[in-house]
Amino acid sequence: MAQTRARLTDTELAALARYGFDLVAGAPAVPPAAELEDAEGVLVATRDDGGLTVREIPRWRAPSAVRTELAQRGWPAPRAWVGSPPADGTELPERLLVLLPAAGTSPDSAALSLGAASWAGWAEGRELVVVPVPVTASAPEAGWAEVAAAYGAELLGSRTDEAPLRTGGRVVMFTGLSGAGKSTIAGRLVELLLEAGRTVTLLDGDEVRTHLSAGLGFSQADRDTNVRRIGWVAAQIAKHGGLAVCAPIAPYAATRADARRLVEEQAGPGSFVLVHVATPLAECEARDRKGLYAKARRGEIAAFTGISDPYEEPTDAELTIDTRESSPEESARRVLAHLIGG
C-alpha cells in the first residue's frame, strides 16, 4: 500500500517553502506521499494527479506577508542585505530588511540566533526587520537579488559565511562494557568542569533509563532507542552552547554514529567527543560490583553486553582509556585536556 502521509525533514520543508514561495521552479524532492506534514504534524502540502499543492508552511514567513509588513511600516522602497553585516556598515540605510539564509536548520537553531545577534551592533539608529529565508547560504538555490525581490526589496549586498556553524557546545560520550569505569570517570570529569567554572549536564546510563527511557528493555531496538534519546538530548544542550557528558554502554557502532550525527548537525563539526573506556571483559567481570556478570553467566540476564550480546568496539573514538593503566583521576584529566585543547 502506498504511503499516504509523510513527515518532512527540515531540509525537505525548506525545499517545499522555496517551491511554494516561487523562489524556484520545479517541484521539490519530497516523499511521494499524498499528504505531507511538518515536524509538528501540520499538513503543509497535498499531492494528487494535478501535482503538488502547498497549503501552508508555519515554519517560514511567506514573502507576501513580509511585503505586507514592510508596506504597513511605511517603507516606500525597501532594501535588503543577505547574511552577516558587512565589514563596514556605516553606509547601511536607516531601514533595512535582513534576510538570513537558514535552509535545513531547525526552528530554534543556533544559526538563527547567532545570525540575528550579529546585527545587534547595527540596530541602534536603524529600523531592522530580520527574516530567515529557506535558502542555503553556501549554495543558494536562487539568486540573492531574486530572493530579495520576492520579499519586496532591492538587494544591497550579501555576506554569507560558508564555514560550518560551531556553537561552542560539546558532548562527551563515554562508551564501554558494564563495569569498565565509565560512570566513575564521567563523574570526576563533571567535577573538574564545575571547578573550572563550566556549566555541565551529566546524562548517566542508570539515571537516563529511570527518567528518560523508562519502560525500555534491553533488546537491541530498545538499547538503540536509549542511546538515540541520549544523543538527542545532548544535541539540544550542545546546540545552545552547553556541555553534556554521557555515560551509556552504547554497544553498537551504528547507534553511536547516529548520536554523533545528531550532535554535530546541531553544534558543528568536532562537537562530539567519543571516549572508549576499553577496560577488557575479564577485568570488568572480575570487578562485577553489581553482580551482573555472575547473573549473566548463569543465564539469569538475557542479552547481556559482552556475554550473550556483542559489544562493537569503536574505531572512531577520539580517546581510548584502559582503566588498568590509569586511575579515574588521571583518565578524567586526560579527557579534560582533550576538551581544552580542542
Q: What are phi and psi of 186, to 5 degrees?
A: -60, -40
Within 10 angstroms of residue 156's Cβ, the number of other Cβ atoms is 16
The whole-number pLDDT of residue 113 equals: 83
Q: Considering just the CA atoms, what is the radius of gyration of the chain in Å?
A: 25
Within the chain, which residues score under 70 in pLDDT? Answer: 1-2, 162-164, 205-206, 213-218, 342
pLDDT, residue 1, reads 36
Q: Looking at residue 318, what is its pLDDT? A: 97
In this prediction, residue 179 carries a pLDDT of 92
Q: How many other C-beta atoms lie within 10 A of the C-beta of residue 334?
A: 15
User: 49-73: per-residue pLDDT in tens?
Assistant: 878 999 989 999 999 999 999 999 9
The per-residue pLDDT for 123 is 83
pTM over 0.75, yes/no: no
Contacts 24+ apart (CB under 8 A), 331-336: 331/181, 331/185, 331/188, 331/277, 332/185, 332/188, 332/189, 332/191, 332/192, 333/192, 335/172, 335/185, 335/189, 335/273, 335/275, 336/189, 336/192, 336/193, 336/196
Helix %, strand %, coil % of the chain (to 5): 35, 20, 45
Write the pLDDT tens digit of every residue in 181-236: 999 999 999 999 999 999 999 998 667 777 776 666 667 788 888 899 999 999 99
